[in-house]
Amino acid sequence: MTVSNESTEETPTTADLMQRYVMGNYGRFPLAFSRGEGSWIWDESGKRYLDFATGIAVCSIGHCHPAMQRALREQSAKLIHCSNLYQIREQAELAQFIVERVVKQPGRVFFCNSGAEANDSLIKLARKFGHDSAAQHGGELRNEVITCTNSFHGRTLGGIAATGQDKVKHGFTPLLEGFKHVPFNDSEALRAAVGPKTSAILFEVVQGEGGINVVSQEFLKTVEELRREHNLLVMLDEVQCGFGRTGRWNAWETAMRGADWTFEPDAVSWAKGMGGGFPIGGIWASERLAPGGVDFRVCDILGPGTHGSTFGGTPLGSVVSLSVLKTIESENLIENADRLGALIRSTVTGWEHPLIREVRGLGLLIGFAIDPDALAAKVPAFAASGQTPSLFVVNRLIEAGMLTVPAGPGVVRWLPPLNVSEDEVAHALNLMRGALDALLNP
């Protein structure tokens, strides 16, 4: 293995090369990785880390799972790319699995390459719905989408306009018009925001970047009522929380646990864990009639020529994604996510650790809210660091041999692979407990 973390004249370090040739649009940790296996990842010097970041919820069945390797190997020897000008069997089979086994409601799927692109597709779906409804019934053109504050919907112009956080919008005016943001889980504010131009509501079932905030059943009930009262499309961003991460195939199913009524979205976006590391995204849209007495189905709104993506649903991408979803099913990883997620949350809650204010999340999408006052009062190194509480703790966990991700300034996020073992969870809990205790007793 080439060890390139020490720069010489002939072999610059990876960080040197990045600095010289790659745009500086990310704040990166000074780590470079060269190998992964299961829940583990090795840096270029050979140091091993327990990977509870998983590329931010991407490597859903761990690093380099044999099923993914096989799918890549076999399909890459058959057919890698085929244009959407033609019929693509592999794409159709992936869509069939998603409709029948994942969503379990009739509908159709559109494939793309990323979460932002999937959300742009939802936004186009909502706009076209408004246009087509007006064309059929007259009335005001509805072209406004309501989203939530603290949300994150991606970095395209559509994504940043939809995102309810000012920091992603700075410097990019004029923004795409037609969005209103309401506080997450605030039913009254949502009700008040719906107006004659509203065509859709879009939100994350669990806000990931916003700090691991889970939607309430009360909010979902209000959404469902508003759908009926105002003929709106209900669109869910499951880019981070979808495909088994929350302990059900769909995060809205987990959020609805125990409810005596049903919640059915009109459309859903995905990416991240969908390909286990292979870039693929998509949206599902329901086969039911679009609301408002129109005669078209939600899944037919984006008809021929209205939308597309060169790399969406290639034979290779589709076969790899299907291998990931079938592995989640055949290895019972949804049950694993549910069980180990509950174990992690109850264990850390039981610590009553002075540096942890709250534990939240669903399944293996878990947030630990760090107590900023306790950190400032008890840990002198924190004040000296100039870092946010979440980044400071994430850095301590890296030193301990574990990767996690900040979710906003105050929350440390765990996103283990869905096939993480109980031993690995126990190891991670020990590492975090040790790192937090060491901060209090250096």
Minimum gap (Å) between residue 207 Cβ and ligand PLP: 7
- Pick the stretch among 22-30, 74-82, 203-211, 344-352 that binds ligand PLP (CB under 6 A): 203-211
Q: Which of 97, 129, 152, 179 binds ligand PLP (CB under 6 A)?
A: 152
Q: Which of 116, 202, 364, 398 binds ligand PLP (CB under 6 A)?
A: 116
Q: Which of 43, 120, 204, 424 binds ligand PLP (CB under 6 A)?
A: 204
Minimum gap (Å) between residue 158 Cβ and ligand PLP: 11
- Pick the stretch among 93-101, 215-223, 235-243, 361-369 that binds ligand PLP (CB under 6 A): 235-243
- Pick the stretch among 61-69, 148-156, 216-224, 309-317 that binds ligand PLP (CB under 6 A): 148-156
Q: Is 114 in the site for ligand PLP (CB under 6 A)?
A: yes
Provide the token pair at 324.
């990931």
- Pick the stretch among 3-11, 29-37, 146-154, 316-324 that binds ligand PLP (CB under 6 A): 146-154
Q: Is 270 in the site for ligand PLP (CB under 6 A)?
A: no
Minimum gap (Å) between residue 223 Cβ and ligand PLP: 17
Q: Which of 36, 38, 208, 408 binds ligand PLP (CB under 6 A)?
A: 208
- Residues that bind ligand PLP (rule: CB under 6 A) add up to a total of 15
Return the number of the residue (91 or 114) whose C-beta is nearest ligand PLP. Answer: 114
Q: In the range 368-427, which residues lie near ligand PLP by CB under 6 A?
A: none
Minimum gap (Å) between residue 25 Cβ and ligand PLP: 12
Q: Pairing between strand 267-270 and 233-237? A: parallel
Q: Is 237 in the site for ligand PLP (CB under 6 A)?
A: yes
Residues forming the site for ligand PLP (CB under 6 A): 56, 114-116, 119, 152-154, 204, 208-209, 237, 239-240, 271
